[in-house]
Amino acid sequence: MAQTFTHQEIADLAEAFEQHTPQQIIIWAVENFAPNIALSSSFQTQSLPLLHMVSRIHPAMRIFFLNTGYHFWDTLIFREQLTREWNLNVVDLYRDARWELFRRNFGRELPRVDPNLCCFIHKVQPMQRALDGLRAWITGIRRDQTKTRAQARIVELQEDGLIKVNPLLNWRKADVEAYRALHRLPEHPLLQKGYRSIGCAPCTQPVRPGEDERAGRWAGTGKTECGLHTEMFQQKDLDPEEARKKFLVKIEF
């Protein structure tokens, strides 16, 4: 019988895991939840330590990649390269087919006019669907990335019973670089062009020296998160027709 955890037990584990290595946390998650567990990854340079660890601890683990249709070709090519070299079990996640007409009509304007709706359609909703029925979700978020992530815990019990596991949460950028150097991990091809945090092409730009590494994400919009790690992830389904009507109003203004 699968083990279940109470809110208090998860809180106690979160506190204890502050003193554990990411590898120890991953091993705990695999022992308790495999095969009903998955890792999500954007395949950025900073994502590589976690991918590398998981590929050695549990090679069969599903790795969810949100294939939004807006990625840089460099990201897609880099993902394929790593998938082959590390023998990763990558699963592409796509938007629901119900949004095809909406995307056909507004796909070009969507990231600029309503980036939150764009993220919900292409990231939040597909991830919600993929995680349905799983017991645990491993992510690569770190506290030093955003104010929202600074409040996270290493293990968190979600409202639907899913356990979110953040093994790298208390790592800093220097820890990522040290691990990459130790294991001679590659880097995303856009890193040397000034892209320090890489998402979809329409919403990502290079950053200047000294700027925060996520300053190039949704620049000038006030948006800092795609929604996977915010309250947006609790949002329920949207009706494409209702979304179309609201979007047309935004375009007119």
DSSP 8-class letter at 162: P
Write out the two tokens for 76: 């897609």
Sheet with 136-138: list strands edge to edge: 89-93, 62-66, 37-40, 136-138, 163-165, 155-157
Is 226 a catalytic site residue?
Answer: yes
Give the residue among 86, 61, 50, 83 at the shortest CA–CA distance from 166.
50
* 8 A C-beta contact, residue 202 and residue 111: yes
> By the 8 A CB rule, do 138 and 54 touch?
yes
Report residue 163: phi and psi, to 5°: -105, 120
Q: Which of 118, 119, 203, 226 is catalytic?
A: 226
Burial class (CB in 10 A: 0-12, 13-18, 19+), 166: buried
Q: How far apart are CA 206 and CA 44, in angstroms?
A: 14
Take residue 141 and report the two structure tokens written for it.
């978020």
What is the C-alpha separation between 10 and 155, in angstroms, rounded? 6
**Long-range interactions of 191-199: CB distance < 8 A, separation 24+:** 191/45, 197/44, 197/46, 198/42, 198/44, 198/72, 198/75, 199/42, 199/226
Residues marked as catalytic: 226
